[in-house]
Amino acid sequence: MLRPHLRCSAAILLAASLAPALNAQQVMDPVFADHVKTWTTKPEFTSPLVDHLPAASGLPSPRDVLGHDIGAPRVLDHYADILGYYRALAAKSPRVKIVETGRTEEGRTTVIVLISSEDNIAHLDENRRNLARLGDPRGLSETDAQALIARTKPIYLALGGLHSAETGPPEMLMELAFRLAAEDSPLIGKIRQNVIVGINPASDPDGRDRYTDWYYRNKIDDTNDLDPVPGAPYWGKYIFHDNNRDINYTGASARNLLDFYLKWRPPIIHDLHESVPFLYVYSGQPPQNPSLDPLLYTELPWFSNFELTQLRRYGMPGVWDHGYVDAWSPGYVAFMSSNHNGMVRFYETFGNGGATTELRHVAPVDGPGEDRHAGDQTKREWFRPDPPYKTVVWSMRNNTNYMETGLLTALQTAATFPQEVVGNFYTKSRNALEDGRKTAPYAFVIPGDQADMTRAALLVNLLRQQGIEVGRATAEVVLKEGRFPAGSLVVKRDQPYGRLAKILLERQDYPDPKLKTYDDSAWTMGLEAHVKVVPSADLKALDVPVTPVDRYEAQGSTAKAGAPAYAVLDHGSINLALLRYALKDTPVRIAERPFTAGGRAVPAGSFIIDGHDYPRLKAALVPLGLTTVALDEPVSVPTHAAALPRIAVYSTWGSTQNVGWVRYAFDQYRTPYDLIFKDEVRKGGLRRRYDVIVVPSQGRSAKDLVFDVPMRGKPLPYTKTAQSRFLGDYGSSPDIRGGMGLEGVGELRRFVEAGGTLITLGDASAMAPDYGLAPDVEASRVSKDFYAPGPIVNARVAAPANPIFYGYPDKTIPVRWASATTLYSLPECARGMVLMDFPGGAANVLSGLMTLPDEIKNRPALIEQPLGQGRVLMFATNPVYRWQNFGEFRMLYNALFNYRNLDLGLTPSSPAAPG
């Protein structure tokens, strides 16, 4: 085969104008061409870039290793096979090199595959050093910079499979790798010559395997897109789709990628997703984060417009940009590039959640699937002049053709303008240094005399993880904002990642309340961690003498031995949880009120430990950064035992993501718990087994939480078998459908009435009033124009002596607004159950966007509803929101360690009678 398949006269004309796509000398694989033709559902869904593949190149093709061409119907590959393919290719090709970057939670090796010309691959290290120098141009002259740019190749890094249900990219990337290594066409030759292509084969390797098993077991025969078989309950270990909202890089694969990024500095990262039809190309629509370099926002349409034009030229319909995802939040994984002066790109290609060919209803239709499409993407718009079809038979090969054609075209841009891509990366890095000297704030100071420095340490180490330089002041810092003691931490903005420091630490000033944003509108780290961070508009801040901090550890203190008792001071550190679990066999009491000992103030909530247990305490304390005071006299205030409740965490099967964040936090703080599902709840006897049941925010509504995956279709097993080795992890069920049902709600009620404590978080709290677990509470909907995408707002403490507020000395507490839909209310006679409420109003929106902030005025933020012998503790906030709002975590831990004493400090009210 010397030429691609030609299907019509238009294609012949097109081929003539696309001569660079092929090399007439290279022999093509007729079987591959035939497969592409057969598997592509309409002639216009492919292009001359991808309808052929070299034969007899001497390199293994995907079919040689995997036994199938890419895009084969009903075929997905497991991660080991994917990795096996790249290793086979690298073993034969001097144009391919594999860099191992670490391990996943489940032990799979993560890699980046680098592909370029033999010469570029032979000089990878030199290129890496050049990019590092250009990425940190301090002390680099303009002449030297230009000389470096001239001999440096851009790395263009493509990520596939971050979202495991988006199954096409990990398949497509193998074909792309082979094509880049084997094909001799002018276009591919030019890409090899001028660009180093990086491939992350599957950004969530654990999830790839789990989803592939799920597809083969439960989804392969599903062709009804109006009522599809649900996806796998788990991808990776914890956080599901939020692995693209993991702003602090908790996921191991994300961290491995970040480490690679900071070492290799690819100027472009391109993340390949699947959702909307047929190919959406990100172009950075508003709201845009104004702290990033304006050059980024000109580069994005520079690339996307060429891709739209080329794909249109190849006759491929339904390619568009704009109108979908904005550039406000820096928390998406591929944003690590633009956050570090590179360029983020991403695609959404139409996908079927597997490799089964299906009739797809693209335009919104009535019926059970009606919510799946946000707006009508088959409508013509200025940015979508050739919209996707209203219905289409769609295949994995269509998906491969679109994505690969787009990506090859993006690589064509990079290969045509390699010096511009590298030059822009340098310019943005240089501008970042200048911006830090020209634009206030010039620095952020984290005062070293905050009562709890353990949360400051969390914050500093997260900044360090992202490559942001932090210094420790060697002497007192005097700025126009105030005086800060020696040892205070200073983040200066005249550093390569000074813009990122600003983005993470500043308050988010949302530009236009009429604009929607795709994820959160706020993420201000200091507000979320309850750490004081002072922005400085004083240029002197740039000259403060500091020593660089690699990793920051808070300094705790131990006390003299031999005292009758000791107090571990509670200033709100989450490390008190670690201490409690480290001392699980030691009696620990909690001071109910503040007192003084030896001239030291001991706050309410402080742990009191007997002198006999001091050696154990001391060993546990040293790494935790907590402060201990010797108590020579008996404690003068009431105390109670710090409980270690038997904890269950309830999870639905259909919405495990936010449960995953709570599991992650519990694992980090070594908190033992049972993860329970519908079957355990329905079985009853909960009070015998548990003291506290935590119901994390999950599902879109209380109804979802109760009834979960609908009882339609066939049973959906999530169990381990010889063929499904990766199912049945983190829980197991012969059929995940059906939810806890009313039967389960009844068991939860029996649990509470028998003295249990039920803790509901965020949107899960709506279950309590809606299903009769909180008889005094009413839930209502926000009004139509209320819009609050995760702003940080003030909450007001209504019961300061209640144990929930140990470690929270202030009357107001910054909290992340958690609910999209629900507001609570109580009759005046039951107002005493409100532990915390929202003062509301614009002045109490601390960061990000909330329209109609008066609507939340005086609404409860935390309610304690007595019921029988027990209680329901309803958080309208989410005290464990992702791995972000560290300042709120302690409210949940306080509820756990004080679950027997949660009535303390409550004003009497007239709760409903048990019944």
Residues 6+ apart with CB under 8 A from 338: 292, 296, 330, 344
Which residue, 164 or 606, has its beta carbon nearer to Zn ion?
A: 164
Q: Which pair of structure tokens corresponds to residue 818?
A: 């958690």
State the maximum Cα–Cα separation within the chain, in Å, rounded to a whole number: 97
Question: Which string of b and e fits 260-292 if b means at least 16 CB within 10 Å?
Answer: bbbebbbbbbbbbbbbbbbbbbbbbbebbbebb
* Nearer Cβ to Zn ion (163/530): 163
Query: Considering beta carbons, is residue 347 or 893 the nearer one to Zn ion?
Result: 347
Q: How far is the CB of 252 from Zn ion (least distance, A)?
A: 19
Burial class (CB in 10 A: 0-12, 13-18, 19+), 809: middle
Rounded to an integer, what distance in angstroms lies between the CA atom of residue 593 and that of residue 753? 29
CB 540 within 8 A of CB 810: no
Asked if residue 345 binds Zn ion (CB under 5 A), the reply is: no
Select 656 or 865, whichever has its Cβ closest to Zn ion. Answer: 656
Name the segment binding Zn ion (CB under 5 A); options: 75-83, 163-171, 512-520, 645-653. Answer: 163-171
Output the smallest distance, CB 734 to Zn ion, in A.
29
Find the shortest distance in angstroms from Cβ 39 to Zn ion: 23
The window from 268-276, 523-531, 679-687, 709-717 that contacts Zn ion (CB under 5 A) reads: 268-276
Contact segment (CB under 5 A) with Zn ion among 156-164, 193-201, 739-747, 812-820 equals 156-164
Q: Are 792 and 848 in contact (CB under 8 A)?
A: yes
Q: How far is the CB of 84 from Zn ion (least distance, A)?
A: 25
**Which is closer to Zn ion, CB of 320 or CB of 824?**
320
CA-to-CA distance for 867 and 848, rounded, in angstroms? 37
Return the half-sphere exposure (C-beta side, CA atoms, 13 A cut-off) of residue 490: 33
Region near Zn ion per CB under 5 A, out of 269-277, 433-441, 518-526, 755-763:
269-277
Between residues 332 and 718, which has the closer beta carbon with respect to Zn ion? 332
Nearest CB to Zn ion, comparing residues 166 and 242: 166
Can you tell me which residue has the tokens 């994005």? 300
Which residue, 205 or 448, is less far from Zn ion as judged by CB? 205
The residue among 162 and 415 lying less far from Zn ion, judged by its C-beta, is 162
Q: How far is the CB of 348 from Zn ion (least distance, A)?
A: 7
| Of 114, 179, 186, nearest in space to 153 by CA | 114
Q: Which is nearer to Zn ion, 235 or 320 (CB)?
A: 235
What are 89's two structure tokens? 């290719």
Site stretch for Zn ion (CB under 5 A), options 40-48, 159-167, 574-582, 729-737? 159-167
Strand blocks (E) in 196-299 = 196-200, 268-275, 279-281, 285-288
Instruction: Compute the least distance from the CB of residue 521 to Zn ion, in Å.
Output: 20
Whole-number minimum distance, CB 167 to Zn ion, in Å? 11
Burial class (CB in 10 A: 0-12, 13-18, 19+), 811: exposed
What is the number of other CB atoms lying within 10 angstroms of the CB of residue 626?
26
Stretch that binds Zn ion, among 214-222, 270-278, 337-345, 785-793 (CB under 5 A): 270-278
Q: How far is the CB of 520 from Zn ion (least distance, A)?
A: 17
Nearer of residues 212 and 757 to Zn ion, judged by Cβ: 212
Least Å distance between CB 273 and Zn ion? 3
Q: How far apart are CA 333 and CA 469, in angstroms?
A: 21
Give the interface segment with Zn ion, choosing from 160-168, 516-524, 721-729, 891-899 (CB under 5 A): 160-168
Closest CB to Zn ion among residues 275, 310: 275
273 near Zn ion, judged by CB under 5 A: yes
Rounded least distance, CB 201 to Zn ion, Å: 16
Which amino acid is located at 620 in the chain? A
CB atoms within 10 A of CB 566: 25
Q: How far apart are CA 427 and CA 424, in angstroms?
A: 5
The site for Zn ion, by CB under 5 A, has a size of 3
Contact set for Zn ion, span 698-737 (CB under 5 A): none
* Residue 5 lies near Zn ion (rule: CB under 5 A): no
Name the residue nearer to Zn ion (CB basis): 145 or 165. Answer: 165
CA-to-CA distance for 475 and 493, rounded, in angstroms? 19
Residue 721 CB neighbour total at 10 angstroms: 11
Q: Of 161 and 803, which CB lies nearer to Zn ion in the complex structure?
A: 161
Q: Closer to Zn ion at the Cβ: 163 or 571?
A: 163
- Shortest spacing between CB 882 and Zn ion, in angstroms: 17
- Min dist CB 163 to Zn ion, Å, is 3
**Smallest gap from residue 760 Cβ to Zn ion (A):** 29
Applying CB under 5 A, which part among 146-154, 158-166, 462-470, 893-901 lies near Zn ion?
Answer: 158-166
Q: Which long-range contacts (CB under 8 A, 24 or more apart) does 663-671 make?
A: 663/238, 663/730, 664/238, 664/239, 664/250, 664/883, 665/880, 665/883, 665/889, 669/574, 669/577, 669/578, 669/581, 669/889, 669/893, 670/577, 670/578, 670/581, 670/582, 671/577, 671/581, 671/647, 671/896
Q: Identify which of residues 163 and 237 has a Cβ nearer to Zn ion in the complex.
A: 163
Tokens of residue 28, six digits: 């093509």
Rounded to a whole number of angstroms, the minimum distance from the CB of residue 595 to Zn ion is 53
Q: Give 102: exposed, middle or buried? Use CB within 10 Å, 0-12, 13-18, 19+.
A: middle
Side chain identity at residue 93, one-letter code: S
Q: How far apart are CA 525 and CA 521, in angstroms?
A: 13
In angstroms, rounded to a whole number, what is the distance separating the alpha carbons of residues 664 and 722? 28
Q: Which stretch binds Zn ion (CB under 5 A): 272-280, 379-387, 469-477, 625-633?
A: 272-280
Min separation Cβ 558 and Zn ion, Å:
49
Residue 165 beta carbon to Zn ion: minimum distance, rounded to whole angstroms: 8
Q: Where does this chain touch Zn ion (CB under 5 A) — which range of 162-170, 353-361, 512-520, 684-692?
A: 162-170
φ/ψ of 757, rounded to 5, equals: -110, 120
Binding mask 53-92 for Zn ion (x = CB under 5 A): ----------------------------------------
Touching Zn ion, residues 164-193 (CB under 5 A)? 166
Give the pair of three-digit tokens for residue 567: 């107090």
Q: Report how far residue 330's alpha carbon sits from residue 519's, in angstroms, rounded to the nearest whole number.
A: 10
Identity of the residue, 166 or 183, whose beta carbon is nearer to Zn ion in the bound complex: 166
- Give the interface segment with Zn ion, choosing from 265-273, 440-448, 620-628, 832-840 (CB under 5 A): 265-273
Segment interacting with Zn ion, rule: CB under 5 A, options 84-92, 185-193, 273-281, 600-608: 273-281
Minimum CB distance to Zn ion, residue 346 (Å) = 9
User: In the structure encoding, which two tokens stand for residue 310, read together?
Assistant: 């080329």
The helix/strand/coil state of 781 is strand
Nearer to Zn ion, 52 or 163 (CB): 163
Instruction: Centre a 10 Å sphere on the Cβ of residue 631 and count the other Cβ atoms it contains.
Output: 24
User: Least distance to Zn ion from the beta carbon of 207, Å?
Assistant: 11
Residue 601: strand pairing partners:
596
Return the residue of 35, 163, 245, 663 that touches Zn ion, per CB under 5 A. Answer: 163
Q: Which of 146, 173, 136 is nearest to 157 (CA)?
A: 173
Residues that bind Zn ion (CB under 5 A): 163, 166, 273
